Amino acid sequence: MIDDGYEQNDEQETLCCLALGFKQQNETYELTSWEASFSYPNKKIRKLSCAASIEKYCLTGLTHELLYCKTLEVPVVTYRITDIPAVRLRLLFHHIPVNLHGMNFICLQQILKDYFVLPRRSHNYASITDMAETMNINATDATSSELLYELYVRTLPLLPTRVI
């Protein structure tokens, strides 16, 4: 057996589930809130959130967490296909310099569309809460990032190799 010196660090965060809140303003979407749940191997540990009336404050806090994830090479799971592209556009709009190049973003909505046949009522894969109900996950008293974590953990073992 080859010993490569690698040991799983149970204290290092391995996943960030990021739930984003937007409000539509004319033709654009403004970031109004975000919530990040970080997990260690097999358990959720740390949760952060921001809700601000000034979008730039939300974006600034979010970029700090995204750069944290980039530094530690922690994958970021989002739900909607449009989440990260919308964040990128808002960062450009507010002239907030940040380098997201090389980050690992996982879009759960796209994975569900590609690998699961879901009932008609969930055909549009609209919300995290709707999808949790479709998969028989109790959404009572759970935050959006916690539901996202549960959806991810349930779907991951059913995916083909190298999807994520």
pLDDT in tens, 128-164: 888 888 888 888 888 889 999 999 989 999 999 888 8
| Surface-to-core class of residue 10, CB atoms within 10 Å of its CB (0-12 exposed, 13-18 middle, 19+ buried) | exposed
Q: For residue 127, what are the contacts with CB-CB under 8 A and spacing of at least 6?
A: 79
Question: pLDDT tier at 4 (50, 70, 90 boundaries)?
Answer: very low
Tell me the domain boundaries of the chain.
Answer: 15-116
Q: Report whether CATH 3.40.190.10 matches the domain 15-116.
A: no
CA-to-CA distance for 100 and 92, rounded, in angstroms? Answer: 12
Residue 42 pLDDT class (50, 70, 90 cuts): low
Above 50 in pLDDT, residue 6? no
Q: What is the mean pLDDT of residues 58-74?
A: 94
Where residue 121 falls among pLDDT bands split at 50, 70, 90? low
pLDDT (average), residues 50-75: 93
Query: Alpha-carbon distance 41 to 102, whole Å?
Result: 22
Q: Is residue 122 over pLDDT 60? A: no
Nearest 5°: the CA angle 161, 149, 139 is 130
pTM of the model: 0.84
pLDDT at 125: 61
Residue 70 has pLDDT above 60, yes or no: yes
Q: Which pLDDT value is given to residue 2? A: 39
